[in-house]
Amino acid sequence: MRGFLKREGKYKLFAILLLTFLIPVGCVQGQLSKDEGEYKNGVVVCAYPDAAQVGLNILKKGGNAVDAAVAVQFALAVTLPEAGNIGGGGFMVYRSGKGETNTLDFREKAPAMAGPNMYLDSAGNVIPGMSLSTHLASGVPGSVDGMVQAHLKYGHLKWEDLVQPAIDLARNGFMITKHLANDLNRTQAEFKKLNEGKIYMIRDTPWKEGDLLVQEDLAKTLEQIRDKGRAGFYEGVVADELVAEMQRGKGLISKTDLQNYHAVWRQALIGNYKEYRIITMPPPSSGGVALLQLLQTVEKYPLSRWGFNRDSTVQLVVEAERRVYADRSKYLGDPDFYKVPVDSLLKPAYNLSRMSNFSWDKATPSVSILPGKFVGYESDQTTHYSIVDRDGNAVSITTTLNGGFGSKIFVKGAGFLLNNEMDDFSSKPGVPNMFGLVGGKANSIQPGKRMLSSMTPTIIEKDGKLFMIVGTPGGSTIITSVFQTILNVIEFNQNMQQAVNSKRFHHQWLPDVVYVEKDALDGDDRLKLEQKGYKIIDSGPSGRVDAILKTKSGYYEGGADPRGDDTKLGW
């Protein structure tokens, strides 16, 4: 996942990872420009135009939102190699047109041979880079099994019809955008350094906008998945190639790990904000719990009266984020391995009590904020897409390789990238991961365990009807980007595209810094906050929110983030 922060050392490790996408001109104060449109029969919003077209075509052929989501997932694996994937994992939040809800956890898992000290040297110190750019960085992929399970439960069209568009894109090639060309050029040296023998996406001259990217080996892998479903990836020739790659680089994923991997259906995490019902992802996502905590914390305050990104609004949101991320560091992890105190974290009285030491006069130092205590408690690159169909079935999916292009290691012969999701575990209590997030026992490495994630795919209802579908990539900034986008619509009366465009800010407890996008705050508001002790640092773009809003007229309005190549298509 892409995010603001990148590890370099202990707390010095926080260089700002600025999402490398150019921002279109035509900005107004606090917003980026993007066109608007409303649609009746369905909308697809995702991170790459070719993938969005694939999803829309599926909807027009009579497919439902899940059918379109499966097709988009595989299309993004071809067209968005830095984040779209078959070698990663993710989460899906689903709401049927009749209001039924479900979530699918297809997050990666630690291999059976993984252990809590696997990234530590003999002195107990974290070995730099081992959890990021080696074969040991990869968890067992979940994306293919996730798509298979989603299709089996909710799909309508034939499986092969959903995978074929991605095969066509891989074999015939597609014209790359300027953003993707820049990303590929930036990564050439690392691809060469980390891969021996056959290397993909390498060329002697720089990539440029409009170049054709052909991926024949990936097309062959997708054909195996098209023809054999789950077995086409977790067994047979593709599994052999993946395990051979592991053996080349002394990685840990085995055939047994692949055979034992299964996505898990989990009950949706549901909460309320005023008259809105929030349907979001439970652990091992930290995002759903954190989002509901944040909404509970700010609910009683008059945000709409204060205004969008004004000093009081920013101060309150930063202080809420500070406390919620502190809780995240201790209490969130894989519920199959650790007793996550979800009920305690989501008690409104608890979240209000966390603000008892908040003062309007000055910033609360993060060193004075510890994770909360409960009675009886036992001790970004990512991509998102939102889809709704003509029947109102809605899907919110966030999926990831973790870092941009994952570990940057390709599976030879299979043509896809390995994730570096193992970095999302706590390599050592108190030591930050690549996004600057710290953790402890709840997120320690154990065989078969799913690593904690910030991914926050979310669906919102109003008056029992679909209201919004929202999510974003962005590493540790995912939670705050989703949170602020929701507030932009509900509190500040922005339409969907405006809410997505609006400039964002981020605080995550440690480091004790407020990161703000350029022009997110006006000069007076920034000065007031700095005089209260807030350390504010300008950053690059935060997240790439893709969202859909049901308008008062009953139509669907998409919001595609102009920070990247994100595209909204509807009919």
- CA proximity to 14, closest of 506, 526, 454, 523: 506
Q: What residues pair up with 388 in beta bridges, in sequence order? A: 43, 394
For residue 1, pLDDT beyond 90: no
Q: Could you give the CA distance from residue 14 to residue 5 in angstroms, rounded to a whole number?
A: 5
Confidence of residue 430 (pLDDT cuts 50, 70, 90): low
Confidence of residue 29 (pLDDT cuts 50, 70, 90): very low
Section 105-122 average pLDDT = 96
Helix then strand then coil, % of the chain, to nearest 5: 35, 20, 45
Q: Could you give the CA distance from residue 485 to residue 138 in angstroms, rounded to a whole number?
A: 31
Bond before 511 cis per omega within 30 degrees: yes
- CA proximity to 515, closest of 534, 491, 489, 488: 534
- CA proximity to 408, closest of 108, 85, 14, 121: 85
CA distances from 322 to 242, 477, 509 (A): 40, 13, 4
Q: What are the pLDDT digits (tens) for 502-543?
A: 999 999 999 999 999 999 999 999 999 999 999 999 999 999
Reduced 3-state DSSP string for 133-151: CCHHHCCECCHHHHHHHHH
For residue 13, pLDDT beyond 50: no
* Mean pLDDT computed over every residue of the chain: 91
Q: How far is CA 173 from the centre of its chain?
A: 26
Confidence of residue 426 (pLDDT cuts 50, 70, 90): confident
What is the pLDDT at residue 31?
Answer: 55
Confidence of residue 11 (pLDDT cuts 50, 70, 90): very low
Confidence of residue 409 (pLDDT cuts 50, 70, 90): very high
Burial class (CB in 10 A: 0-12, 13-18, 19+), 250: exposed
Cβ–Cβ < 8 Å for 148, 230: yes
Q: Could you give the CA distance from residue 271 to residue 279 in angstroms, rounded to a whole number?
A: 7
What is the pLDDT at residue 420?
Answer: 96
The number of residues in the chain equals 571
Q: What are the pLDDT digits (tens) for 467-510?
A: 999 999 998 999 999 999 999 999 999 999 999 999 999 999 99
CA distances from 469 to 271, 389, 404 (A): 15, 12, 25
Q: What is the greatest pairwise CA distance in the chain?
A: 64
Q: What positions carry a catalytic annotation? A: 382
For residue 557, pLDDT beyond 90: yes
**Percent with pLDDT over 70 in the chain:** 91
Q: What are the pLDDT digits (tens) for 258-283?
A: 999 999 999 999 999 999 999 999 99
Cβ–Cβ < 8 Å for 55, 569: yes
Q: Could you give the CA distance from residue 486 to residue 503 in angstroms, rounded to a whole number?
A: 13
Residue recorded with tokens 């034992």: 260
**Percent with pLDDT over 90 in the chain:** 87
Cβ–Cβ < 8 Å for 396, 457: yes
Beta-strand relationship, 514-517 and 536-539: parallel
Cβ–Cβ < 8 Å for 55, 74: no
Give me 199's structure tokens: 């290397």
Cβ–Cβ < 8 Å for 446, 425: no
Q: What residues pair up with 453 in beta bridges, in sequence order? A: 285
Question: Side chain identity at 89, as an amino acid letter?
Answer: G
Section 327-352 average pLDDT = 95
Helix (H, G, I), strand (E, B) or coil at 491: coil
- CA proximity to 502, closest of 545, 472, 459, 565: 545
What is the pLDDT at residue 34?
Answer: 46
What is the pLDDT at residue 369?
Answer: 87
Q: Could you give the CA distance from residue 176 to residue 48 in angstroms, rounded to a whole number?
A: 10
For residue 325, pLDDT beyond 50: yes
Q: How far is CA 492 from the centre of its chain?
A: 24
Lowest mean per-residue pLDDT among 3-7, 207-211, 299-303, 430-434: 3-7
What is the pLDDT at residue 438?
Answer: 63
The predicted model scores a pTM of 0.92
- CA proximity to 94, closest of 134, 67, 54: 67
Cα four-point dihedral sign 282, 287, 289, 295:
negative
Lowest mean per-residue pLDDT among 3-17, 102-116, 290-304, 451-465: 3-17
For residue 7, pLDDT beyond 50: no
**How many C-alpha atoms does 11 have within 13 Å on its Cβ side?**
7
Q: How far is CA 523 from the centre of its chain?
A: 31
Cβ–Cβ < 8 Å for 500, 489: no
250: region left, alpha or beta (phi > 0 left; psi from -120 to 50 alpha): left
Q: What is the DSSP string of 530-559?
A: HHTT--EEEES-----EEEEE-TTS-EEEE
Eight-state DSSP code of residue 443: G
Q: How far is CA 120 from the centre of its chain?
A: 27
Bond before 284 cis per omega within 30 degrees: yes
| Helices marked H in 299-442 | 303-306, 311-331, 342-345, 348-353
- CA proximity to 222, closest of 166, 267, 179: 166
Confidence of residue 374 (pLDDT cuts 50, 70, 90): low
| Helices marked H in 173-286 | 178-194, 216-228, 231-234, 236-248, 255-260
- Residue 322's CB is within 10 A of a number of other CB atoms, namely 23
